[in-house]
Structure 1
Amino acid sequence: MRILVQSDPFDVAAETEGFAQGHENVGALVSFTGIVRNNDAGTLKSMQIEHYPGMTEKALAKIATEAQSRWDLQDVLVIHRHGDLVPGEKIMMVATAARHRKAAFEAADYLMDYLKSRAPFWKREITSDGAEWVAAKEDDEEALNRW
C-alpha cells in the first residue's frame, strides 16, 4: 500500500506502470485519475486544497486498509494533491490490484467515494467573482452510503 499526499504533479503513466510491477497473482489493475474541473460558468481560476499533514495520511491509510480487507486486494495506491491547482490539472489517483476485476473495480469505486466525501481535505474555489469554500454535496454522501 502506498499513500501520497503531495503538492507536486504526478505522472499517471509512470505511477500506473510502477504500481503494476511485481504483482504476479493479480488478474486486475484498476486506476482512476481525478482532474480539476472548471465550474459551469467557466470562471474557475484555481482550486486551493488544504489538509493537516499526518492526519490526512493516517485517514487515507485507514480507509485503504479497510478496502484491502473488504475486497481482498493485493495492493492499493492513493495519491492526492494539495495546494493551488488549475482546471485540467490532475488532483488525485486511486489504483487497486486484485485477483479478480470485480474486487478491483468495487474497491477503487469505494476509495473514490471516500476521497470525495470524507477525506480530510478542504477545498476553496477561486473564481473571477471571488473565493468560496466547497461544501459537501448530498450526491457524494449518498454515493458513500451505498457501501
Structure 2
Amino acid sequence: MASEISIQTEDFDVSDEVARLRAQDARVGAVCCFVGTVRDRSGSGQVSAMELEHYPGMTEKSIAAMIDEARRRFDFYGVRVIHRVGLLQPEDQIVLVAVTSAHRGESFQACEFLMDYLKTQAPFWKKEETPEGSRWVDARESDDAALARWGIVASNA
C-alpha cells in the first residue's frame, strides 16, 4: 500500500503523479484526484497572492496520521498527498490528493475524507494578499461541517 507525502514549494504535474501512484499495480481499477488551486478572490474580496506556511516534520506527521485513519475507514491501495507552501499566485496549484483502489466508490470516499481532514486538521497557515493588505485566513465553518460528517470534530472548532 503506497503512501507518499510531499510538502514543497515547486509545482507538480498531476499526470506524472498519478502515473507514479498507479505504476506496476494491476489491481488498480480506480483513481480519484482532487487538485486545489489559488482563487483570485475569497469571501471578503480580491486576492492577489496567497502565502502558505507550515511546521516541517509536524505537518508530514499529521498527514501520515490522517492517511492511517483513512485506511481504517476505506479499502484503497495507494495515496499521494502533495501540499505546496510559500508564495502562490491565483491559478497556481496548491494541493493534490490522489487515491487508488479497486473500485471508484472507495477512491472517491477516501479522497474526499482526506481533503476534508487536510482543510481543517493539517498544520498549515494561509495569508492572503489583498488590495487592503495582508490577512490571515481563518478556518471556515463549512470546512468544519464537512469534517463533522465523518464523525470528527475539528480541533479548531
TM-score (norm. length: structure 1): 0.95
Q: CA deviation at 1:91?
A: 0.1
CA distance in 1, matches of 2:144, 2:111: 17
Contact 1:68 1:75 in 2 (8 A): no
1:116 is aligned, of 103, 116, 119, to 119
CA distance in 2, matches of 1:64, 1:124: 26
CA distance in 2, matches of 1:23, 1:105: 18
2:68 is aligned, of 65, 70, 76, to 65
Q: CA deviation at 1:42?
A: 6.2
Q: Which residue of 1 aligns with 2:133?
A: 130
Q: CA deviation at 1:11?
A: 1.1
CA distance in 2, matches of 1:94, 1:108: 6
Aligned pairs for 1:1-147 (under 5 A) are: 1-39=3-41, 43-147=46-150
State the identity %.
46
Q: CA deviation at 1:80?
A: 0.2
Unaligned runs of 5+ in 2: 151-157
Matched to 1:46, the amino acid is A
CA distance in 2, matches of 1:81, 1:107: 21
Contact 2:82 2:97 in 1 (8 A): yes
Moved runs in structure 1, 4+ residues, more than 6 A?
A: none
Aligned length: 147
> What CA RMSD, in Å, does the superposition of the two structures yield over aligned residues?
1.2
TM-score (norm. length: structure 2): 0.89
